[in-house]
Structure 1
Amino acid sequence: MDEVEWIRRIQEGETQYLTPLIEHYYPGIQKYCYYRVRSEEEAKDLTQETFYRFCRSVDKYRHAGKCLAYLYTIARNLCNDYLQKRRSLSWEQVQETEKVYTRQTSSIEEQVEGAQLVTELLLLLPEEQREMVFMRYCLDMTFRDIARVTGVNVCMVQYRVNRGLVVFRNYLEGSEIVEKKTAEFHHNYTKKLPFISR
C-alpha cells in the first residue's frame, strides 16, 4: 500500500493507517530536524509536532505531490520558528545549549563513520545551500521535492546543489594536496636527519 492509499483511508476515518505512514517517514523528518537545530531532544519534539500538525490538518490535505515534501515543509517551518526564538535567548542560555550540543554531536560522530567530514563540508556552504545539499544527499530527496519544501524553483535547487558539490570537490582536492606536500616534507626532512647509532 502506498502513501496515496494511506492518506485516502485516513481521510475516510481509518486512523489506523496513520501508524504506517508515521513510521515510514519519522526517521527522515527527525534527521532533518536534528540537522537544523542540533539537539536530539528538540529534534524529537519538533518531529512529534510535525506529525501532530499533519494529523490535525490531514482532512484538508490534497495529494498535490509527495506527502514527504509536505511533511518537510511543516518541519522546516517549525525549525525556522524554533531557531528564530533561540536567537532571542540570552548569551548564557545559548552557551549552555552549545555545551549540550557538543556533548551530543561527539557521541553521534563516534557512531557514524564520516559524520565529522560531512559536517565540516556542509559548514563550508551558506545556510540555504547547505540545507539543499543536506536534503539531496543525506535525506535522498529529489530536486523537485526540495523545490516544493523550500519554495525555490527546481533549476535553482539543482544549481545550488551542484555549486555545493564543486565547493566540496575543491576543498577535498586542496586537502589532499596539503596532505601530500606535508608527507613529502616529512619524508625529505627525515632523510636529511643524521643517523644516530645507539
Structure 2
Amino acid sequence: MDEGEWIRRIQEGDAGYLTPLIERYYAGIQKYCYYRVRSEEESKDLTQETFYRFCRNIEGYTNTGKCRAYLYTIARHLCNDHLRKWSQLPRMETEEAADRGVIWQGGSVEEQVERQALVDELLQCLPEEQRELVFMRFCLDLTFRDIARITGVNVCMVQYRVKRGLILLRRHLERRDSVEQEAADYHRNPKELPLVPR
C-alpha cells in the first residue's frame, strides 16, 4: 500500500494508518528539528507537534505526493516560532538549554563528537540562507524540489545556493587542511631558532 492510500484511509477515519506514515518520516523530522534548535528534548516536542498539526488538519490535506515536503514545512514553521521565542530568553538560559543537547547515535562517543563538531564547524561557515539548504540536501537527503516546497524558494535558486555553499565549504576545508599540514610539517621538522649574539 502506498502513502497516498494511507492518507486516504486516515482521512476516512482509520487512524491505524498513521503509524506507518509517522514511522516513515519521524526520524528525519526530528533530525531537522534537532539541527535547528540543538536540544534533544525540544526536537522531540517539535517533532510530535509537527505530526499533531498534520493529523489535526488531515481532512483539509490534498495528497499530491508531497507529504514529506508538507511535514518539513510544518516542522520548519514550528522551529522558526520556537527560535523566535527562544531568542527572547535571557542568554544564560539559552546556553544551558543548548548544553543539554544529546549527540545522535552511531559510532563511539569520540567519533560522534568529532563528526558533529566538523559538521557544525563547516555549516557555521555558510551564510544562513545556504546553511539550511545544504543541511536539508545532504543531512536530510531531501530533493531540490522538496527543499523548494519547504522553504518557498524556487528550485533553481535552491540549486544555486547549495552549489555556492558547497564551493564555500570546499574552500574552507582546503584552508583547514593546509593549516593542519603546515602544523604537522613544523612539528616533524622544527626550524632552528637563530642564535642570539651574547
TM > 0.5: yes
Measured in 1, the distance between the counterparts of 2:62 and 2:103 equals 41
Summarize the Cα distance change of 1:86–1:151 in structure 2 as closer, same or farther, 3 Å threshold.
same
Query: 3-state SS of the aligned residue for 2:190?
Result: helix
CA 1:143–1:17: 2 relative to 1, 3 Å: same
1:103-140 alpha-carbon deviations (Å, 9 max, x no partner): 43568774636121011100111222111101000000
Q: Name the counterpart of 2:72.
A: 72
SS in 2 for 1:104: coil
Map of 1:152 onto structure 2: 153
Shift of 1:100: 3.4
Q: How does 1:103-114 map to 2 (within 5 A)?
A: 103-105=100-102, 110=110, 112=112, 114=115
1:58 corresponding residue in structure 2: 58
Q: Which residue of structure 2 lines up, in the alignment, with residue 39 of structure 1?
A: 39
Counting only pairs closer than 5 Å after superposition, residues 172-187 of structure 1 correspond to structure 2 as: 172-187=173-188
Tell me whether 61-70 or 47-56 shows the greater mean CA deviation.
61-70
Query: Residue 99 of structure 1 corresponds to which residue in structure 2?
Result: 96
| TM-score scaled by length of structure 1 | 0.88
- Per-residue deviation at 1:170? 0.3
User: By how many angstroms is 1:97 displaced?
Assistant: 2.7
Q: Percent identity?
A: 66
Matched, 1:16 2:16: yes
- CA RMSD after TM alignment: 1.9
Question: Which structure 2 segments of 5+ residues have no match?
Answer: 194-198
TM-score, length-scaled by structure 2? 0.88
Instruction: Give me the whole-angstrom Cα distance separating, in 2, the residues matched to 1:100 and 1:3.
Output: 37
Deviation at 1:187, TM superposition (A): 2.3
Conservation of the 8 A alpha-carbon contact between 2:41 and 2:101: no
Assess, with a 3 A threshold, how the Cα gap between structure 1 residues 105 and 14 changes in structure 2: closer, same or farther.
Answer: closer
Q: Residue type of the partner of 2:7?
A: I
Q: Secondary structure at the match of 1:140?
A: coil
**2:27 is matched with which residue?**
27
Distance 1:131 1:7 in 2: 29
Total equivalences in the alignment: 189
- The separation in 2 between residues aligned to 1:120 and 1:103, in whole angstroms, is 19
